[in-house]
Structure 1
Amino acid sequence: MNILVLGGTQFVGRHIVEAFLAAGHGVSILTRGKSRDELPAAVERLHGDRNQGAAGLAALEGRLWDACVDVSGYTPQQVRASAARLQDQVRQYVFVSTVSVYAEPNRHPVREDDPLLPPAAEDVTEVTGETYGPLKVTCERIVQEVYGERCAILRPQIVAGPYDHTARYPYWVDRAGRGGEMLAPGDGSDHVQVIDARDLAKFTVKVVEEGLSGAYNLAGPRMTWAAFLEVLGVQSPRWVPQAALETQGLGHRELPLYLPEDSEQGGLMDVSPQRALAAGLPHTDPAVTARDTRLWIQGAGLRYALSSEREAEVLQALQE
């Protein structure tokens, strides 16, 4: 098959491109050429920018693909441009969305038919913590409006694995590798859940190969924080209750992935992947995700919001 990937050079997109290549398919990417590109030479590079509307998609003119995988659609204007341009040029449109579209993230578990956030207006272009979910809701609706049964919507949990420059999951892997007493949020009974980027990518290939449609939550195994830190090899966790974390000014930025079970967004660490599992979503062993991320981190030069010095200060303050 011939596949067009919108994006493709960074993290999730890179894994998706590599998965299609591994399955024997041909891949073209539409890229602005502004990000580091380490993809194989076999990938066709087309240059364009959806922010420029139809003019930015001239490189796609006159071409046909079996499917388009949209990894980089964040605003309605971007997705409206590509969805309209490709309507008669691709058989299937696969849109990578997010679990952040759900309106009631405190549900346990979160399922595909749960209510979504109110959609953002199509002229909203600023992506912030507040607009991210509503923008993705609008993008999903545009794709469904244009393609109907010829589209699939993928809603991944927080994505983990090699090439992850967000530094959310990598923080914990990196910190565990440094050893010593480690600040651990909560009491170990809250839950954490991510999806290995390679599982997301393999499922994307399956969606295209089998022509699947509809919405799918993509989430990996759900673990307690105690089990998660054990997988990472943490020897000396220092569990710190949520209230104490707040007094020290530590939140989601400093302690990524941590959502208390009873918080307003606690259900986002209880996302049901049952529909995707029934359709063939694989689950990588969490220990393998951690091992491979640790190997990649060594040359990644990541920076974290919580420094070793600040962590030590907090642990000292909590002892006093």
Structure 2
Amino acid sequence: MPLNILILGGTGFTGPEQVEYALARGHKVTLFNRNRTRPDFFKGKVDQLIGDLNDDVSALAGKKFDVVLDNPTTFPFWVRNAAQHLKGNVGHYIFISTESVYRDNSRPDMDETDGTTPMPPDVDPYTTVRENAGKYYGALKTFAEQEAERQYPGRVTIVRPGLIVGPLDRSDRFTYWPARIDRGGDVLAPGTPDDPTQWIDSRDLAEWMIRLAEQRVIGTFNAVGHVRPMQELLYGIKAVTTAGAQFTWVPADFLAEHGVRGWRHMPVWLPPVGPTAGFLRRNNARAVKAGLTFRPLAVTASETLAWHKTRPEAEQKATADGAIAGTATAKEAEVIAAWKAKQTTGGTTND
């Protein structure tokens, strides 16, 4: 039976994939957003409600929906504001949270039962302003999850993605690698080839969320792919290019000494020791059992690269410069040269 779906947001990264998949499966879709990002993206295909979760949710008044997909919420009061009109008029509420809610990332294979991040006792999560969103991100998402449960008891699905990747992702937290490897040459690779990594394609996430809505699945899920070694990621990306890149694997401590940090400068990677030992090794068994599937890396990599090549020249240059995520070309060459100079024998720069 077709569903009447409300998507909060819907025109950013994951949202468009949700819309396309829902429409393809015969559902009716309504978007609620500020109508600023790609305002004509789905013109004529969906209903559009214009408002702002901060202070203008009046467009939701009197509307009923089978399910809500809440993509953008960081702040608990956004959930509460929308619930002024929705809580008695929604059958199912699916909230995109984050794996950043977890308090501890030091152990591999941690699951949904692990503890979440509390807010410091002197900070009110309901009055925290946007300027502090980064500082308290995990705690804010934790409280937003709890607010959703309060407003829609027994009707909430919490989806906690890891790193979301794929076409339309302008964060460069994955896009950096296809773009860099496609340029060829000597590529700085972090840690060891066997260091773990983990991601999820935005389309796999979006399509699974629609299926959760169709089946009215309630619960909390880690939405991440299977753990893979870093070499599988990098060589898998290389396989969809023709540039002939080769990799220089540089240990984590040497990278740190030269100001190269995991995640920011080496995307999709963190040193698998200490407090981040389990961050890219989260258990996904519950989500897989609930129907989460994963497309091949070759598809994600090739289609992300193809999309990247359609970006404005300034954005492509920013990726090459590591302006958002990744390592600038000059810095990369500097670190590789320093590492090679330190070696008394070769053997660490094998293709």
Identify the TM-score tier after normalising by the shorter chain. Answer: over 0.9
Residue 157 of structure 1 is matched in structure 2 by 162
| Match 1:135 to one of 125, 137, 140 | 140
Give the Cα separation in 1 of the matches to 2:340 and 2:332.
13
Give the Cα separation in 1 of the matches to 2:83 and 2:295.
32
Residue 344 of structure 2 is matched in structure 1 by none
| Match 2:306 to one of 290, 295, 300 | 295
Residue 345 of structure 2 is matched in structure 1 by none
Query: Partner letter of residue 180 of structure 2?
Result: R
Per-residue CA deviation, residues 154-177 of structure 1 (Å, 9 max, x unaligned), is 001100111111110000111111
Aligned runs of 1:223-242 on 2, under 5 Å?
Answer: 223-233=228-238, 235-242=245-252
Residue 176 of structure 1 is matched in structure 2 by 181
CA RMSD in angstroms, aligned pairs only: 1.5
> Does 1:316 pair with 2:337?
yes
Per-residue CA deviation, residues 107-147 of structure 1 (Å, 9 max, x unaligned), is 21120111111146222123443311000000000001111
Residue 274 of structure 1 is matched in structure 2 by 285
Name the structure where helix makes up a greater proportion of residues: 1
Describe the SS at the equivalent of 2:7. Answer: strand
Residue 258 of structure 2 is matched in structure 1 by 248
Describe the SS at the equivalent of 2:37. Answer: coil
Contact 1:76 1:124 in 2 (8 A): no
Describe the SS at the equivalent of 2:187. Answer: strand
Q: Give the CA deviation at 1:38.
A: 5.4
| Match 1:46 to one of 27, 45, 49 | 49
Larger radius of gyration: 2
TM-score, scaled relative to structure 1? 0.95
Describe the SS at the equivalent of 2:293. Answer: coil
Residue 196 of structure 2 is matched in structure 1 by 191
> Does 1:28 pair with 2:27?
no
Q: Which stretches in structure 1 are left out of the alignment for 5+ residues?
A: none
Give the Cα separation in 2 of the matches to 1:70 and 1:254.
30
Q: Give the CA deviation at 1:235.
A: 4.0
Q: Give the CA deviation at 1:83.
A: 2.7
> Does 1:68 pair with 2:78?
no
Contact 2:73 2:144 in 1 (8 A): yes
Aligned residues: 317
Residue 349 of structure 2 is matched in structure 1 by none
Point out the more displaced range, 212-221 or 132-141. 212-221
CA 1:311–1:195 in 2, change beyond 3 Å: closer, same or farther?
Answer: same
Contact 2:133 2:140 in 1 (8 A): no
Query: Partner letter of residue 36 of structure 2?
Result: K
CA 1:189–1:172 in 2, change beyond 3 Å: closer, same or farther?
Answer: same
Q: Which stretches in structure 2 are left out of the alignment for 5+ residues?
A: 239-243, 342-351
Give the Cα separation in 1 of the matches to 2:161 and 2:18.
13
Query: Partner letter of residue 123 of structure 1?
Result: T
Q: Give the CA deviation at 1:297.
A: 0.7
Describe the SS at the equivalent of 1:281. Answer: coil
Point out the more displaced range, 256-265 or 215-224. 256-265
Contact 1:16 1:202 in 2 (8 A): yes
Query: Partner letter of residue 310 of structure 2?
Result: G
Q: Give the CA deviation at 1:313.
A: 2.0
Point out the more displaced range, 136-145 or 114-123. 114-123
Contact 1:84 1:146 in 2 (8 A): no
Describe the SS at the equivalent of 2:292. Answer: coil
The list of structure 1 runs, each at least 4 consecutive aligned residues, that deviate by more than 6 angstroms after superposition, is: none
Describe the SS at the equivalent of 1:176. Answer: helix
Contact 2:75 2:125 in 1 (8 A): no
